[in-house]
């Protein structure tokens, strides 16, 4: 029996309709809406995807989803595309899933689009175990949905695997406009988020909602601009423009594995693991009241040019970074003595907890540079429940399975000082692998404050109280020498600061031998 092949002419009407629908999708909301977007200093969603991913790598899916208008004969008269653009692409040669809101169509409203489409992108990333990038530019829900559906909608998307994703693949949220309601959640429910200065705003409800509910006027910038949410912790980083935001996304993903069943990629480096910088030997001032630049230490120790800081303006007394050490991805936690003395504030505790969860989820060993005076105290700290957050931080550290190495550069006091690494971990086998610089001091309480409390009566009754306090402090200062602790093997070793890179480069190689055996999902996702 001979087969029969149709000619293109026979299918011409259908093919022409397909091409027309595709063309309409490319036109987005039309020239006027595109001009409006550009005049506000913003790229369109298609321009954004092109700027983010490798050239010609975007494979769009669901392009012709939208709303058609038909005549009485059932023929298509016009077509309005969905205001969600999604598909797969490549960054650094690796496949990712990207989904973006098209603000040129009904302001990117999450309820004016075909919800199955953007949810499908999330489900695809979840099933195919590919990193997900959300380009969010949406005004949130729309009251006009009532007219379309002739009924109200119970909030929520039953098929959206928002939490499951966090335990499987890297998720990135990029705020590229006013992101209200669901848009704000899509930015924040991620492993890394970034918003663009002046054009991005994130809030549960915008100024009209605030006016209606709370009866005061507020601008979008005051309510949810970068100055608000890079300091509230809702969003990790600020970008100067959209290209800077996309650069940060690419850099973040360069440290991540594709999913939790892999470890981060090793990238060879020309930066020698034996490199030593004599400046580190003198970077800590002998005078305890003088501070120093912790970031300078970090940049000197890690592979050159690889330090990527996350959430700099939130919980600033703690520094969290991704970096490379001898080609391997590492997480860095450090204390910044320039802010609150480096103490563990409520915000710093929350920041540390989330960062530890991130590194543990994706099998990234942590290096902790410790200069911790303790948990923040005082009336405000106690009223805010700082201790509760500190306890949650201790829990996150103890639950983490990843290798952990601490370098105590100066102070490690009290409960905060004890949070510098796991004591036994979930398996009961975690090493408290820690080294110290000669400048290190530790204890349940600093000598100065401890002496004043413990010898209060003796000091007050002395002929010369100041002199007596100095004598007692001198005695205890000698006992607090790090060398005395090293004698009892309280630390693995005391090292010259300039040797730190060599010590850590040797450790991280062994750490990755362990993480290779730890791949897979954790019992919990991100907290």
User: pLDDT digits over 337-383, tens only?
Assistant: 999 999 999 999 999 999 999 999 999 999 999 999 999 999 999 99
**Average per-residue pLDDT for the chain:** 90
CA–CA gap between residue 84 and residue 65 (Å, rounded): 9
> Which tokens hold the place of 128?
């195919």
Residue 63 has pLDDT above 70, yes or no: yes
pLDDT of residue 425: 67
CA–CA gap between residue 159 and residue 181 (Å, rounded): 18
Residue 302 has pLDDT above 90, yes or no: yes
Residue 255, C-beta contacts closer than 8 angstroms, at least 6 positions apart: 264, 308, 322, 323, 324, 329, 364
User: pLDDT digits over 4-45, tens only?
Assistant: 677 777 888 889 889 988 998 888 888 999 999 999 999 999
Residue 460: CB atoms within 10 A of its CB come to 10
Q: What is the mean pLDDT of residues 460-468?
A: 84
Residue 314 has pLDDT above 60, yes or no: yes
Question: How far apart, in Å, do the first and last CA atoms of the chain sit?
Answer: 64
> Considering only CA atoms, which of 114, 65, 121 is closest in space to residue 98?
121
Q: DSSP label at 93?
A: T
User: pLDDT digits over 116-159, tens only?
Assistant: 889 999 999 999 999 999 999 987 655 555 566 656 666 666 67
User: Angle at which helices 242-254 and 45-52 pack, to 10 degrees?
Assistant: 40
In this structure, are residues 98 and 116 in contact, taking their beta carbons and an 8 Å threshold?
no
pLDDT of residue 140: 63
Q: What is the mean pLDDT of residues 420-431?
A: 76
pLDDT of residue 444: 76
- For the chain, give the percent of residues with pLDDT over 70: 92
- Structural domains of the chain, ranges and CATH numbers in brackets: 12-254 (3.90.226.10), 278-437+495-515 (3.90.226.10)
pTM of the entire predicted model: 0.91
CA–CA gap between residue 472 and residue 452 (Å, rounded): 9
Residue 109 has pLDDT above 90, yes or no: no
pLDDT of residue 160: 83
pLDDT of residue 496: 98
In this structure, are residues 176 and 196 in contact, taking their beta carbons and an 8 Å threshold?
yes
Strand partners, 16: none
């Amino acid at each position: 029996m001979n087969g029969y092949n149709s000619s293109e002419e026979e299918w011409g009407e259908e093919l022409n309709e397909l091409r027309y629908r595709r063309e309409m999708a490319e036109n987005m909301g039309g020239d006027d809406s595109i001009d409006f977007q550009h005049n506000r200093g913003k790229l369109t969603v298609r321009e954004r995807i092109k700027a983010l991913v490798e050239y010609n790598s975007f494979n769009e899916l669901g392009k012709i989803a939208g709303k058609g208008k038909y005549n009485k004969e059932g023929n298509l008269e016009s077509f309005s595309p969905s205001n969600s653009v999604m598909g797969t692409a490549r960054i650094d040669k690796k496949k990712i899933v990207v989904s973006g809101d098209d603000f040129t169509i009904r302001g990117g409203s999450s309820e004016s689009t075909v919800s199955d489409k953007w949810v499908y992108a999330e489900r695809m990333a979840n099933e195919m175990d590919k990193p997900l990038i959300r380009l969010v530019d949406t005004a949130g829900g729309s009251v006009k949905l009532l007219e379309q559906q002739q009924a109200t909608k119970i909030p929520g998307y039953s098929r959206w695997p928002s939490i499951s994703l966090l335990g499987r693949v890297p998720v990135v949220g990029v705020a590229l406009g006013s992101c209200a309601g669901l848009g704000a959640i899509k930015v924040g429910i991620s492993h890394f988020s970034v918003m663009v200065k002046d054009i991005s705003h994130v809030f549960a409800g915008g100024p009209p909602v605030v006016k209606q509910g709370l009866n005061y006027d507020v601008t979008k910038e005051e309510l949810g601009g970068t100055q608000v949410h890079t300091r509230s912790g809702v969003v990790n980083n600020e970008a100067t423009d959209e290209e800077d935001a996309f650069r940060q996304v690419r850099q973040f993903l360069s440290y991540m594995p594709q999913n939790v069943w892999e470890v981060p990629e090793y990238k060879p480096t020309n930066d020698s693991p034996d490199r030593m910088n004599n400046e580190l030997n003198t970077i800590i001032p002998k005078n305890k009241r003088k501070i120093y630049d912790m970031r300078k230490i970090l940049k000197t120790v890690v592979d050159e040019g690889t330090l990527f800081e996350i959430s700099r303006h939130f919980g600033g007394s703690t520094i969290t970074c991704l970096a490379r050490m001898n080609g391997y991805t590492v997480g860095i936690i450090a204390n910044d003595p320039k802010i609150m003395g480096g103490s563990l504030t409520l915000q710093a505790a929350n920041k540390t907890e989330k960062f530890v969860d991130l590194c543990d989820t994706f099998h990234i060993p942590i290096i902790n540079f410790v200069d911790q005076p303790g948990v923040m105290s005082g009336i405000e700290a106690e009223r805010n429940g700082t201790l509760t957050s500190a306890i949650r931080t201790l829990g996150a550290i103890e639950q983490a399975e990843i290798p952990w190495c601490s370098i105590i550069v100066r102070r490690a006091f009290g409960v905060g000082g004890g949070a510098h690494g796991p004591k036994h971990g979930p398996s009961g086998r975690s090493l408290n692998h820690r080294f110290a610089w000669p400048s290190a001091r530790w204890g349940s309480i600093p000598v100065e404050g401890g002496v004043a409390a413990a010898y209060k009566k003796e000091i007050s009754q002395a002929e010369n109280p100041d002199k007596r306090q100095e004598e007692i402090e001198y005695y205890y200062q000698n006992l607090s020498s790090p060398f005395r602790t090293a004698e009892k093997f309280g630390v693995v070793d005391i090292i010259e600061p300039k040797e730190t890179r060599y010590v850590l480069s040797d450790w991280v190689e062994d750490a990755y031998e362990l993480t290779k055996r730890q791949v897979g999902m954790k019992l919990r996702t991100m907290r």
